[in-house]
Amino acid sequence: MQTTILKMEKSIFIKSKIENINKVEKLVDEISEEAKINSEIYGKMLIATVEAVNNAIVHGNKEDDKKMVKVEIEIGVEDNKVCIFIEDEGPGFNFYDVPDPTTPENIENIHGRGVYLMKHLADEVIFHGNGSKVEIKFNI
């Protein structure tokens, strides 16, 4: 009798230092390879995840290396989805009030670009609670 893997999960905790983003990149690489995710979705996952982790480190945890960022990746074979959760220890933010970086008045503003990228690369982006946890979903 052959068993089928219905769900794959991996997670890591990193200190809030920009150089730790490479650990998250390796996690996305590993799980993408194991799940045989196509290169187009892999690229979107990698960029969106790196943006979310960068936001968690810089904006959420204010680069305080005593604070952690948790990254969880779940792949559901039955529902053909990849769910990536990124959570920081910061106070959160008003995710309903993120400026659109494509409007003329915000074109020079650096704020909002990461959230904009995540929303345009992922199939779904959900902020939980106070905004210190984001869920990024990709259909595979």
Structure tokens at 132: 């210190």
CATH code: domain of residue 93? 3.30.565.10
**pLDDT at residue 3 is higher than 60:** no
Total domain count for the chain?
Answer: 1
Whether the Cβ atoms of residue 11 and residue 30 lie closer than 8 Å to each other: no
Structural domain boundaries enclosing 133: 7-139
User: Quick one: pLDDT band at residue 1, thresholds 50, 70, 90?
Assistant: low
Q: What secondary structure does DSSP assign to 117-136, as a single string?
A: HHHHHSSEEEEETTTTEEEE
Residue 123 domain-assigned (yes or no): yes
Residue 50 domain-assigned (yes or no): yes
Residue 13 domain-assigned (yes or no): yes
Q: What is the pLDDT of residue 5?
A: 54
Residue 89 domain-assigned (yes or no): yes
Of the ranges 26-40, 41-55, 96-110, which one carries the lowest mean pLDDT score?
96-110
Residue 1 domain-assigned (yes or no): no
Structure tokens at 68: 């952690």
Q: What is the pTM of this model?
A: 0.91
pLDDT in tens, 78-126: 789 999 999 999 999 998 888 888 888 877 777 778 999 999 999 999 9
Q: What is the DSSP letter of 77?
A: T
Residue 2 domain-assigned (yes or no): no
